[in-house]
């Protein structure tokens, strides 16, 4: 009997080894091999893992997930099963489920009881307990890569991406083949807008697994971040050729197609996403957010039906409310539209951390710093390059229109919303325990050499986004209004344009817009009004300290008297008039923002007065804006 059992075990081991060999060369045969083993040894965990991995390689995601769930049920200690399950769940868009599977992968990878306890805490999102275990452990065992990756995951969950990056770099330095940590590193780099660095890690991973769809999907997103849209599209198409039923990949593909102006193709991609995942709110909002696409009664019924469904995530729910609101607005049902906008904003606001008082206090400190004497004392310092043209202001104030007009000029290159000024500002704000010494106060302590170096750093960081040899380029990051003092000090010859719009029109346009990231102020009428007031105060402070330094463009004036305003704008920039600026809608270039389709059409007036249909709902906003409404 003993010899018979030993022989069965030996045969199973040989069959599994053969299955692993087949997995590398023919996944379909590996599935067959796994099935043969499972007929002999029902629910054998290693055979289930083999079957799951082979099905995943064939693109049969749902079947792979089912096999892997059976595997981890039979053997919860299988690190390989948990990792592969996590890889498949992330492709379905189930971020929390993938995170849980990866956490179980970590737990299954370690034998130390303390690390098991830390992994359990991560699984339960009990971050304080996990941190209390991991930090002393790593002090004692600084080369434990499993613990390093766990601590990096913890840092990423609370938004400390710099710390997560440092930890993950250490993990892959110690264990270069630790693919899960390297993929985490690429993800963290992407979230920090370090797309080039992320691509380095992804290419390393793809050398070993060239067909891994998660790697290629992230690579497509990173390529899009640096403006290599043709390559990004190729990445998404490569994934979809092998996995045509991945809704999240179809959606990412649609985003990139929209950016390059292939509207019909982007609509088709979003529709494909919705066909695969009818309750995926972000796909519905992406379709509605094209602005030039109107959702019909059948679409409204489908979205409202999805809102009534069980198991819908909070993220899907608020995206759906924004999309339904846009559909009803387009249909002229403004009261119903406002109800949905209000619900979507309230639900989104509940999920984010924003303190309007902090913005007000920041503006107070900035205005106190920005005196004529402060700037006069630093005259002649900084990097003298005149290349950048900054467009600042509120989102939804016409900045994309201005960018498109200027990008039509033969001496100006349009890029995108560049994060580099914000990145530099954040770095200058780190380290000081005393709030009075933090950014922007820290600007007063910068030596001339530091100001020069920061200006040169900005130009070097943004070089990757420049695809032509035109002498000027645009940095259209609206929120850079917070950093005008920094821009003046490090790039004194750069030009700044303030894109301004009627306070009610601008604020309500923000309120009904769901932003993919940032703009946390926009999900409450009161808070968006306060933010507008602080922005207007800041720009008034700049004008008092540096008269004429910033050129203001009123959106309504640009729409009403386009040529006059364009000529004024070009005069400010010391650029000759070019008729192409009046034919801006003919300019072919990538546009990322919500206005991407609108700026590919001639100027129209409807957007100027659109907010007036909702005026009866805007009393709270009017109260906050106060005298600004009379001053505009």
Q: Cα 32 to the chain's mean position, in Å? A: 41
Tell me the mean pLDDT in the region 5-21.
Answer: 70
Pick the range with the lowest mean pLDDT from 263-277, 391-405, 417-431. 417-431
Q: What is the DSSP letter of 332?
A: T
Structure confidence at residue 596 (pLDDT) = 44
Highest-scoring range by mean pLDDT, 156-170, 302-316, 441-455: 441-455
pLDDT tens digits along 505-545: 999 999 999 997 779 999 999 999 999 999 999 999 999 99
pLDDT grade for 605, boundaries at 50, 70 and 90: low
Please check the confidence at residue 569 and state whether its pLDDT lies above 90. Answer: yes
User: pLDDT value at position 5?
Assistant: 44
Nearest alpha-carbon partner for 200 in 467, 563, 464: 464
Q: What average pLDDT does this structure show over 584-588?
A: 76
CA atoms lying within 13 Å on the CB side of residue 450? 10
From CA 205, how far away is CA 513, in angstroms rounded?
Answer: 37
Maximum alpha-carbon separation in the chain: 97
pLDDT, greater one: 97 or 305: 305
More confident residue, 409 or 104: 409
User: What are the b/e assignments for 145-173, b being 16+ CB within 10 Å?
Assistant: bbbbbbbbbbbbeeeebebbbbbbbbbbe
Tokens read off for 154: 């913890």
H or E element that contains 174: helix 161-174
Is the pLDDT assigned to residue 172 strictly greater than 60? yes
CA distance 239 to 168: 26
Which whole number is the average pLDDT over 145-159? 87
pLDDT at 202: 96
Could you give the CA distance from residue 170 to residue 164 in angstroms, rounded to a whole number? 10
- Read off the pLDDT of residues 622-631 as tens digits, 9 standing for 90 and up: 999 999 998 8
196-238 confidence digits (pLDDT tens) = 999 999 999 999 888 888 899 899 999 988 889 999 999 999 9
pLDDT band of 120, cuts 50, 70, 90: confident
Bridge partners, residue 413, by sequence: 473
Q: Is the separation of the CB atoms in 455 and 370 below 8 Å?
A: no
d(CA 551, CA 539): 10
DSSP letter at 475 equals E
DSSP per residue, 46-113 = HHHHHHHHHHHHTT-HHHHHHHHHHHHHH-TT-HHHHHHHHHHHHHTT-HHHHHHHHHHHHHHH---H
- What are the distances in angstroms from CA 373 to CA 344, 376, 379, 417, 540? 46, 5, 10, 31, 17
Distance CA 405, CA 399 (A): 10
* 603 has pLDDT over 70: no
pLDDT at 32 over 80: yes
Model confidence band, residue 1 (pLDDT cutoffs 50, 70, 90):
very low
Task: Pick the range with the lowest mean pLDDT from 52-56, 81-85, 460-464.
Answer: 81-85
* For residues 41-48, average pLDDT: 87
**Band of residue 184 on the pLDDT scale cut at 50, 70, 90:** very high
Q: Which of 52-56, 123-127, 142-146 has the highest mean pLDDT?
A: 52-56
Q: Collapsing DSSP states into helix, strand and coil, what is residue 422?
A: helix
pLDDT at 178: 83
pLDDT at 2 over 60: no
Query: How many whole angstroms separate alpha carbon 309 and alpha carbon 278?
Result: 11
- For residue 90, give both structure tokens: 């992330």
d(CA 12, CA 41): 9
Q: What is the pLDDT of residue 566?
A: 96
Q: How does residue 592 score in pLDDT terms, banded at 50, 70 and 90?
A: very low
Amino acid 501: pLDDT: 95
Residues 6+ apart with CB under 8 A from 310: none
Q: What is the pLDDT of residue 632?
A: 79
Q: What's the CA gap between 571 and 560, in Å, rounded?
A: 19
Average pLDDT in the chain:
89
SS (H, E, C) 266-316: HHHHHHHHHHHCCCCHHHHHHHHCCCCCCCCHHHHHHHHHHHHCCCCCHHH
Quickly state the pLDDT bin for 580 (edges 50, 70, 90): very high
Rounded Cα–Cα distance for residues 428 and 450 (Å): 11
DSSP 8-state assignment for residue 613: G
With cut-offs at 50, 70 and 90, classify the pLDDT of residue 135: very high
Number of residues in the chain: 632
From the list 429, 622, 397, the residue with the least C-alpha distance to 501 is 397
pLDDT band with cut points at 50, 70 and 90 for residue 582: very high
| Strand 412-416, strand 472-475: pairing | parallel
Residue 10 predicted with pLDDT over 70:
no
Does residue 600 carry a pLDDT above 50? no
Query: What percentage of the chain exceeds 90 in pLDDT?
Result: 61
Whether the per-residue pLDDT at 329 is higher than 90: the answer is yes
Dist. CA 540–CA 530, nearest whole Å: 15
502 burial via Cβ count (<10 Å: 0-12, 13-18, 19+): buried
pLDDT of amino acid 512? 95
Q: How many Cα atoms within 13 Å fall on the side-chain side of residue 39?
A: 5
Q: Is the pLDDT of residue 422 over 80?
A: yes
Q: 431 pLDDT exceeds 80? A: no
Q: Which domains does the chain have, with CATH numbers?
A: 357-631 (3.40.50.300)
**pLDDT tier for residue 416 given thresholds of 50, 70 and 90:** confident
Residue 300, pLDDT score: 96
Considering only CA atoms, which of 465, 304, 487 is closest in space to residue 392?
487
**For the chain, first and last CA: distance in Å?**
93
pLDDT for 615? 92
């Amino acid at each position: 009997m003993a010899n018979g059992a030993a022989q069965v075990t030996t045969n199973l081991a040989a069959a599994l080894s053969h299955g692993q060999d087949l997995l590398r060369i023919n996944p379909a045969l590996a599935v067959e091999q796994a099935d043969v083993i499972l007929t002999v040894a029902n629910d054998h965990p290693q055979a289930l893992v083999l079957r799951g991995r082979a099905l995943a390689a064939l693109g049969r995601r749902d079947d792979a997930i089912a096999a892997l769930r059976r595997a981890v049920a039979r053997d919860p200690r299988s690190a390989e099963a948990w990792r592969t399950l996590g890889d498949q769940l992330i492709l379905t868009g189930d971020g929390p489920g993938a995170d849980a599977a990866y956490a179980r992968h970590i737990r299954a990878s370690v034998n130390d009881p303390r690390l098991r306890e830390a992994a359990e805490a991560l699984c339960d999102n009990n971050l304080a307990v996990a941190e209390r275990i991991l930090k002393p452990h790593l002090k004692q065992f600084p080369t434990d890569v499993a613990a390093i990756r766990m601590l990096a995951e913890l840092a990423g969950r609370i938004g400390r991406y710099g710390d997560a990056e440092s930890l993950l770099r250490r993990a892959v330095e110690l264990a270069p083949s630790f693919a899960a940590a390297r993929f985490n590193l690429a993800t963290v780099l992407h979230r920090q807008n370090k797309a080039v660095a992320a691509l380095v890690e992804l290419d390393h991973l793809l050398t070993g697994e060239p067909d891994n769809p998660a790697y290629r999907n992230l690579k497509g997103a990173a390529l899009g971040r640096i403006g290599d849209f043709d390559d990004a599209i190729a990445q998404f198409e490569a994934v979809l050729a092998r996995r045509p039923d991945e809704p999240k990949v179809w959606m990412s593909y649609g985003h990139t197609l929209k950016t390059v102006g292939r509207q019909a193709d982007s609509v088709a991609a979003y529709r494909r996403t919705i066909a695969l995942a009818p309750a995926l709110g972000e796909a519905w909002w992406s379709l509605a957010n094209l602005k030039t696409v109107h959702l019909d009664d059948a679409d409204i019924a489908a979205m409202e039906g999805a809102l009534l469904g069980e198991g819908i995530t909070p993220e899907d729910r608020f995206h759906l409310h924004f999309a339904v609101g846009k559909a009803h607005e387009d249909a002229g049902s403004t009261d119903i539209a406002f109800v949905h906008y209000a619900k979507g904003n309230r639900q989104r606001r509940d999920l984010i951390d924003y303190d309007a008082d902090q913005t007000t206090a920041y503006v107070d400190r900035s205005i106190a710093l920005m005196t004529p004497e402060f700037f006069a004392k630093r005259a002649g310092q900084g990097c003298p390059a005149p290349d950048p043209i900054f467009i600042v202001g509120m989102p939804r104030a016409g900045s994309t229109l201005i960018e498109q007009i200027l990008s039509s000029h033969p001496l100006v290159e349009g890029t995108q919303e560049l994060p580099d000024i914000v990145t530099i500002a954040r770095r200058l704000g780190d380290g000081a325990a005393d709030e009075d010494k933090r950014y922007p106060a820290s600007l007063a302590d910068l030596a001339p050499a530091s100001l020069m170096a920061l200006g040169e750093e900005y130009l070097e960081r943004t070089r990757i986004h420049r695809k032509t040899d035109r002498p000027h380029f645009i940095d259209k990051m609206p929120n850079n209004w917070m950093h005008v003092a920094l821009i003046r000090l490090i790039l004194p010859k750069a030009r700044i344009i303030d894109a301004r719009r009627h306070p009610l029109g601008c604020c309500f346009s923000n309120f009904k817009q769901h932003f993919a990231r940032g703009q946390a102020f926009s999900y409450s009428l009161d808070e968006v009004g306060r933010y507008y007031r602080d922005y207007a105060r800041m720009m008034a402070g700049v004008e008092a300290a540096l008269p004429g330094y910033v050129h203001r463009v009123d959106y309504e004036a640009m729409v009403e008297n386009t040529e006059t305003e364009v000529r004024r704008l070009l005069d400010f920039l010391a650029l000759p008039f070019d008729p192409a600026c009046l034919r801006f809608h003919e300019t072919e270039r990538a546009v990322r923002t919500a206005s991407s389709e609108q700026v590919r059409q001639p100027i129209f007036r409807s957007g100027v007065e659109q907010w007036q249909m909702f005026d009866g709902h805007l009393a709270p906003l009017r109260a906050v804006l106060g005298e600004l409404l009379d001053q505009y």
